[in-house]
Structure 1
Amino acid sequence: MISRVARLRHIAPLILIFSSLAAARDESLFTSSVTYCSPPETLLIQQFDIAYFAKNESIWFNISAASVDPNVNVTANVMLNVYGMHPVNFTIDLCSLFNGALCPLPMYNFTGSDSIPLPSSLGVSGKIPSIAFQIPDLEAYAQLSLTEVSTGALKACVQATLSNGWSVHQVAVEWATGGLALLAILSAIFHSFAPDTLAPFRLFDLLYLYQWAASTALLDLNYSSVYRAFATNFAWAMGLFSASATSSIQVSINNMRHLTGGNMADATGDSAVALVNRKLSPYNSMTSSAFIDTSNQYAAVGVENLWALTDMTSTNYVSAASVASVKELSAAADVQLVTQSSSNVLQAGVPIYVNSVGIATANAFMTVFLTFLIIAAILLAVISVGYCVLAVTSRHGRWKEHLADWQYRYPSFSRAWLLRTCLIVFTPVTIFALYQWTLKDSWLSILISVFLLVAVVGYLLYPVFLTIRLALRSTPYALYTQSDHLASYGPLYAIYRSERFYATTPLILAIFVKALFTAFSQANGEVQVVAMLIIECALLASLLALRPHKSRGADVLATYLAITRVVCTGLMIGFLESLNLGAIPRVVIGIVMAVIISVAVIVMFVNTLVNLGLMRLLPARYRRRRDDIPDGSVLEKGADDTDWRPRNPTPQRNIPLDPDVNQPYPDSPSQTLTDRHSAYSEESGSTTLGSLLPQRWSIQPSQPSTHSRSNSQSQYSPSQSNYSPSCSNHLSTASSPRQSVPPSPLRTHSPSHSRQPTIDEHPSFP
């Protein structure tokens, strides 16, 4: 079984991608959380910290515990669960240790800390594979069970999750992704003044990628610990900034909820892993049968109600001494009781995710709401300051003319950024506002969620309604000609072609429908995954069918991001609890998803740099010449233009004329006028009107003589022997014995089946 764990060694190089530091460190395993797996009766624990160091095979411990029942002879069972397997499972008779000093258990409080080297005869190093010290977010826990020898009753059960100190959740990753978002925001603001780039539109694409990555961990699925930790790197994009249970914001939210009818538990000060449902990672299985039987025995008893058993005549459950100690333990809340019937167990989805970042389940929406208020306040402050600066500077004569246009456009600029902000916060607001309705915790939180959801959705639907109405009343092209409407509501459609102005609507609808399934289908992961996969596939199909963007490069980028969402959503099927997929395959799936999303973030990072204008710093031979970009919409000149689509395709090279039919042009004015007359032949019924002419040509205003006209007519008459009718499409010219000109590089097509002369360049003009 240990060899199966060692298979993870092959994917260890991929794990290093997520490591913020590559410095060497001691290989160690230590407890990350401690909980009771049955109500404490004999052994009470307030602190339990143990660390194993592979370098010198030693154990360091810091334990604070107490034995409260007299005359208890117990056996100790030690079980190690690593990715659902049990490489270590043995029982020790404590009466055989230390010459019987632990039989019966002495009644005293034990508090101590020390480091003890383990004897080599135990062979501990051979039982722990080296990958266990390197893989991030290790899924392992140790369980200690004390069973009374005479009765077989379980007297104590303690579970401690293990960690090696490595995790894909890194503060450095949060700062890096946040820094990229800040760079994209600054680039979008800067390029908002010159609407010839895609930077303002790529800001939403980047933040939506972050939000989608975080939302993939909000479903009722058995995620591997490595992916759950990876998804928390993007929690800030959902408005869920990491906090502690004692932070001022969380304490204020707790007080507000409790004063308005809220009775759900607050966030724990310890790791949320301790409260995770034992079916899920990192536990990966139900505990032993002894734990199941014992937990059923206390099905209706919680830690807070244990002291009520003191009135019972029987002492089969808890002794009086244990009850007094449990009161103190409950007040201290250092080690919590987690059983099948405990109300503090965190289920999959939103509860585990938000508690992993230090936010209580009932506080999730209010945290998002406060974050939205801060963003709105900053936006309104910046807009107000900008307006004041324009108003003050426009009073000076030197700046008045330059800023007059900006004063006119500034309201539209402000409305556009308010709309863009609503698009950005639409995903977290819809998910957590709808989820708050399912909790039924605080009436004030529910009321605020209704107001916020209506405000955000309303501000999005109104511009959509105005845009569709304008397109239906006139033409879609009118959306791009009315400057006020384009400047105000351009974030909805300006990036798309005029006939595909509605391409944002499917995305907005998809975000809302996914929020419905995330919030209201928390008890059914199968429905959530299937619905998400159908929605993502529909979005991908719409992009492939519509190709809405103005450039092929933009379509490719949007399609790539859609494919990323489809692939990762499909991989999430492996996290379904009903499939009972092993822990190691789920870890591999989680790492693959993390790599795919990381590559997408890197792509958006490069795209942000390109849209920022850094491509201009490259040598000229590596940049596309500006003349190669066709005239048209300014958005087609963005950084995503790997290809462009000309609206009126023309040949990209000149086609030379046939030199055999290219004749020199006569020099006399009479012949020039005769050419005009011969442009139409009565006999052939053809004309050369509308044909392309050389850039330099002239016509003498003087009238030719009758004799000259007759000579010229006879010269170009079809009956002459030097003129042979032909079906050629080449443009022919007259001949002159005095001067000839080089063949023109232009070639035009005449509807005539005979060659007709045209006006050529007069040699007397420069």
Structure 2
Amino acid sequence: MRILSFPVLASSFLVARTLATDTISTNEVSTCLTGSDVEVRELSVTYTRSTREVVFNIDGTSKKIQNVTASLTVTAYGNQVYSKDFDPCSSDNYVAQLCPVPAGSFQAHGTQQIPEEYASQIPSIAFQIPDLDGLAKIQLKSKDDGAEVACIQSGLSNGKTMQVQSVTYAAVGVAGAALALSGLSALGTAGHTGASSSSPSFGDVMGWFHSMATNGMLSVSYPPIYRSFTKNFAFSTGLIPWGDMQTAIDNFRASTGGNLTQNSYEFLRNATLTYSDGSSTNTTSKVKRGLNLIVGAVDLATRDLSGSFSSDTTSSNSTDGDESTFHKAVSGIEAYAEQLTIPQANTFMTVLLIFAIVVAAIAVGILLLKVILELWALYGSFPEKLKDFRKDYWGLLARTITNLILILYGVWVLYCIYQLTTGDSWAAKALAAATLAVFTGVLMFFGLRIMHLARKYKKSEGDTAALYEDRETWRKYSLFYDSYKKDYWWLFIPAIVYMFAKGCVIAGANGHGLVQSAGQLIVEALMLGLLLWNRPYVAKSSQWINITIQVVRVLSVVCVLVFVEELGLSQTTKTVTGIVLIAVQSGLTGILAILIAVNAIIICVRENPHAKRQREAEKLNRDMDDLTPLDARESLLMDNPPRKDYAEMSKFNFTGPYEPYRDQKLPQPQHGRMGSTDRLVEPAYHLDDQHGRSLSRESRRSRDSHGSPERHHATTPGYGFAY
């Protein structure tokens, strides 16, 4: 059937070919009238700029013969840019297949050349904007009573999209580079307490990717360009499309109370997802003019259409067509997951299985590392700093998994709450509740343990510096606070609360975009205020990187508020905001990638600062142990050690602070048979094996003959001060 003026249709129902260079085509045709007399099972129309040709293919059915009128409406970015009513039986718009509409199955296909005078006026921008936000709708009404007998609509696309596999691969590469850099940094600081992690770390990068992904999970009306962009980072949250896995999860759900009727992988493969529409205002002039020109150009070719017709009541494509007529309205987390062909009821189980695979890979990788180190120790010279890695396999595995839990905690809370509120399988709900309790319990245990140690050190030593200086404490717990200053070790606790609150807001308020956006804005703003007020990071680079990331998070949520339907902003405004969001978020991602590369170069060319400091300290201790009475460094003029550094006193072999004067004379030291009695200054302290300064007996007798009335001993150099 020649379903209406096909050149007109061709101009309106335009693309769905990914990465096409100069085409506009129909995309996911759907019906907008249930129970209609005329149904179109398949509609494919493509306009190619280079050849100026419109190619179409239509397959449909009609219940009866009837005379109709047609109405065509084209909207772009929420604004109506073209509207036309016509009679397919009139001389100006005659379409044989619609005059009258035949009964039974019909097919039509053909090619139409567009005149140069119209094709040349179509602006290039119509072919260049990714994820073109356009919609064409055709309505057929009965001439007898004016009732609507058919309604068909289709999205318009130029084949370009922001969802590109290369972007995902690049993001995976950035995350992998950050992981490798964090590993190298850990090896470089092995055995050194108090060493801060490199920045941006793997956790920083994954946290930023999580933010971009969750920005696309809210129940708001996203512009198509931004919706496609956020899907590039779904992998960071554990949503990885895998057909066999989805089929296995469907079978698991079916055996545990799940309903697969419209919530399964097979259904989703043959379904068309429908998103919520935004309010309409004026669109950009170039896009509006381009779409109108396309419609006008193809409208000229109405009379020359070629087609074919069959009155058979069956069709070889009927099965496929019936399957392709499934339509599903989606929004929020459901829309985000099902764009990736992951049924919404399968989201948690998908993330759980991906997590299990990652944990298994980590265990195997660490075991392989242990085997390599054991072979190295047997057949080669084993480095001293790698002994901890060799001896502490289970501890290293536990700390790695704990670190993974800490990184994923925010999205894990989100998926668990979503499963508990919308899931249909009792087993999946039980797993969600159990894993959420376990993950929360693990983090609570470490949090309480670190707080207990901090109070203990505070009570016994006056501060919590031992969290950073005690080797065993640092090895076990530093992954929570290694990037913070000593006074801000506790900041990991509000960071965990922040992740929990963010996941609860997004999943708990699913379906209420305004509540989600406002709640997330409050959470992000509070975290930003905490960072700005305390500035807790050790390194200035970490300070600025993390504060910048948090600022962009706040700005991103502010921009997402523009997409909230309750605010009634125009589709054009939403599209412009989406483009700005993409630019800002892509820019920050690029900066993180550059910083990772710079850090990698620094690690390769610069000497390890921790090893250098340790070597200098060891050299200083050896030099002080080798001092002689005539050494210039043993001079009375030698500067005293820094007074404020208790930890450094051991380098100079001092034993304690200033000791007060006594009224009675201190007992003379007893010398062994082999001991020397030569002294220049009588020591005020009895030092067993410490380095005193030697004096002759003559000097001592001379000093005693001029003894002071108070019989006080002279102060030993380096003493007499409270350090």
Q: How high is the TM-score relative to the length of structure 1?
A: 0.68
Match of 2:156 among 152, 162, 165: 162
| Residues 281 and 572, structure 2, Cα contact 8 Å, conserved in 1 | no
Given that 1:415 and 1:489 are in contact with CA atoms closer than 8 Å, whether structure 2 keeps it comes out as no
Counterparts in 2 of 1:579-590, with a 5 A limit? 579-590=567-578
Q: 1:162 to 1:548 in 2, by over 3 A?
A: same
**Deviation string for 1:474-532 (max 9, x for gaps)?**
23212112222211221101211221111111111111111111111113222211111
- The match for 1:222 is 221
1:250 aligns with 2:234: no
Q: Does residue 48 of the first structure (1) align with residue 43 of the second (2)? A: yes
Which runs of no fewer than 5 residues in structure 2 stay unpaired? 1-17, 190-194, 284-310, 459-463, 618-641, 646-679, 682-692, 707-720
Conserved 8 A contact 1:140-1:283: no
Bigger shift: residues 575-584 or 91-100: 91-100
Which residue does 2:257 correspond to in 1?
Answer: 261
CA distance in 2, matches of 1:463, 1:326: 65
Distance in 1 between the 2:321 and 2:282 partners? 29
Match of 2:551 among 563, 569, 577: 563
Change over 3 Å in CA distance of 1:423–1:36 after alignment to 2? same
Query: How far apart, CA to CA, are the structure 1 residues paired with 2:384 and 2:178?
Result: 31
Partner of 2:56: 61
Contact 1:27 1:133 (C-alpha < 8 Å) held by counterparts: yes
Matched with 1:456 is 439
Alignment equivalent of 1:425, drawn from 404, 408, 415: 408
Deviation at 1:411, TM superposition (A): 4.0
- Counterpart residue number, 1:109: 105
Q: Secondary structure at the match of 1:193?
A: helix
Alpha-carbon distance in 1 for matches of 2:219, 2:227: 12
Give the distance between the partners of 1:176 and 1:647, measured in 2 at CA: 52
Shift of 1:393: 5.0
Structure 1: segments with no counterpart, 5+ residues: 1-19, 286-321, 339-343, 633-645, 650-675, 678-696, 711-750, 752-766
Q: Secondary structure of 1:495's match?
A: coil
Q: Is the 8 A contact 2:506 2:520 kept in 1?
A: no
Distance 1:481 1:79, change over 3 A: same
What are the Cα deviations for residues 586-612 of structure 1, in whole angstroms up to 9, with x where unaligned?
A: 111111111111122122112222332
Taking only the aligned residue pairs, the percentage that are identical comes to: 26
Q: Distance in 1 between matches of 2:269 and 2:94?
A: 35
Q: Distance in 1 between matches of 2:169 and 2:33?
A: 41
Report what 1:38 is aligned to.
33
What residue in structure 2 maps to residue 276 of structure 1?
274
Greater relative contact order (Cα < 8 A, sep 6+): 2
Aligned residues of 1:40 and 1:157 also touching (Cα < 8 A): no
Give, in whole Å, the separation in 2 of the partners of 1:258 and 1:282. Answer: 42
What's the Cα RMSD here?
A: 4.0
1:438 lines up with 2:438 in the alignment: no
**Do the aligned partners of residues 280 and 394 (structure 1) sit closer, same or farther apart at CA in structure 2, a change above 3 Å counting?**
same
- The Cα of 1:159 is off from its aligned counterpart by 0.8
Per the alignment, residue 238 of structure 1 pairs with: 237
| CA shift in 2, pair 1:597/1:329, >3 Å | same
Q: How do 1:75-474 and structure 2 match up within 5 A?
A: 75-96=69-90, 97-98=93-94, 102-119=98-115, 123=118, 126=121, 129-195=123-189, 196=195, 198-199=197-198, 202-243=201-242, 247-263=243-259, 264-267=262-265, 274-280=272-278, 332-336=321-325, 338=327, 344-346=328-330, 348-391=331-374, 394=377, 399=382, 405-474=388-457
SS in 1 for 2:428: helix
CA–CA separation in structure 2 for the residues paired with 1:628 and 1:386: 28
Change (3 A) 1:284 1:352: farther
Matched, 1:29 2:24: yes
Amino acid at match of 2:208: L
Comparing 503-512 with 254-263, which one deviates more in the overlay? 254-263
Q: 2:175 is matched by which residue type in structure 1? A: A
1:187 and 1:159 mapped to 2: Cα distance? 50
Deviates more, 1:423-432 or 1:159-168: 423-432
Change in Cα spacing, 1:624 to 1:383, as seen in structure 2 (3 Å) is closer
- Counting only pairs closer than 5 Å after superposition, residues 497-576 of structure 1 correspond to structure 2 as 497-576=485-564
Name the residue aligned to 1:694: none
Taking structure 1 as reference, are residues 391 and 75 closer, same or farther at Cα in structure 2, changes over 3 Å only? same
Q: Partner of 1:635 in structure 2?
A: none
Pair 493,159 (structure 1): closer, same or farther in 2 beyond 3 Å: same
Change (3 A) 1:269 1:83: farther
Residue 612 in structure 1 maps to residue 600 in structure 2:
yes
Distance 1:625 1:87 in 2: 66
Q: How far apart in 2 are the matches of 1:192 and 1:235?
A: 28
Task: Tell me if structure 1 keeps the 8 A contact 2:88–2:98.
Answer: yes
Would you say the 8 A contact 2:485–2:538 is kept in 1?
Answer: yes
Q: Write the letter of the residue equivalent to 1:336.
A: T
**CA pair 417-112 structure 1, distance change in 2 beyond 3 A:** same
Counterpart of 1:4 in structure 2 is none
Offset at residue 234 of structure 1 (A)? 0.3
User: Against the structure 1 CA distance between its residues 356 and 154, is the aligned structure 2 distance closer, same or farther, given a 3 Å change threshold?
Assistant: same
Per-residue deviation at 1:447?
Answer: 1.2
What is the rounded CA distance, in whole Å, between the counterparts of 1:524 and 1:592 in structure 2?
A: 24
- Contact kept, 8 Å, 1:33 with 1:161, in 2: the verdict is yes
Q: Deviations over 1:709-735 (max 9, x none)?
A: 99xxxxxxxxxxxxxxxxxxxxxxxxx
Mapped contact 1:220–1:525 kept (Cα < 8 A): yes
- SS of the residue 2:188 aligns to: coil
CA positional deviation for 1:216: 0.9
* CA spacing shift, 1:385–1:50, aligned 2, 3 Å: same
Question: Hey, what does 1:595 align to over in structure 2?
Answer: 583
- Alpha-carbon distance between aligned partners in 2 of 1:106 and 1:532, rounded to the nearest angstrom: 55
Distance 2:46 2:116 in 1: 17
- Distance change in 2, residues 1:624/1:43 (3 Å): same
**Within 2, Cα distance between the matches of 1:208 and 1:433?**
18
1:617-696 map, 5 Å: 617=605
- In 1, distance between residues paired with 2:511 and 2:98? 47
Partner amino acid, structure 2, of 1:117: Q
What's the CA shift string for 1:18-65, capped at 9, x where partnerless?
xx99xxx74221012111111253323222110112344321112222
AA in 1 matched with 2:110: D
Tell me if structure 2 keeps the 8 A contact 1:480–1:498. yes
Structure number with larger C-alpha Rg: 1
Q: 1:648 to 1:590 in 2, by over 3 A?
A: farther
Deviations 1:395-432 (A, max 9, x none): 56965988655444444433321221111221221111
**Could you say which residue in structure 1 is the equivalent of 2:286?**
none
Deviation at 1:699, TM superposition (A): 9.2
Change in Cα spacing, 1:626 to 1:600, as seen in structure 2 (3 Å) is farther
Aligned length: 579
Aligned partners of 1:500 and 1:516: how far apart in 2?
A: 26
Q: CA deviation at 1:571?
A: 1.6
Cα shift at 1:133: 1.4
Structure 2 residue matching 1:187: 3-state secondary structure: helix
Cα deviation digits, residues 554-594 of structure 1 (max 9, x gap) = 21221111111111111221111111111111111111111
Partners in 2 of 1:368 and 1:154 — Cα distance?
45
Within 1, Cα distance between the matches of 2:231 and 2:197? Answer: 29
What is the deviation of 1:101? Answer: 6.1
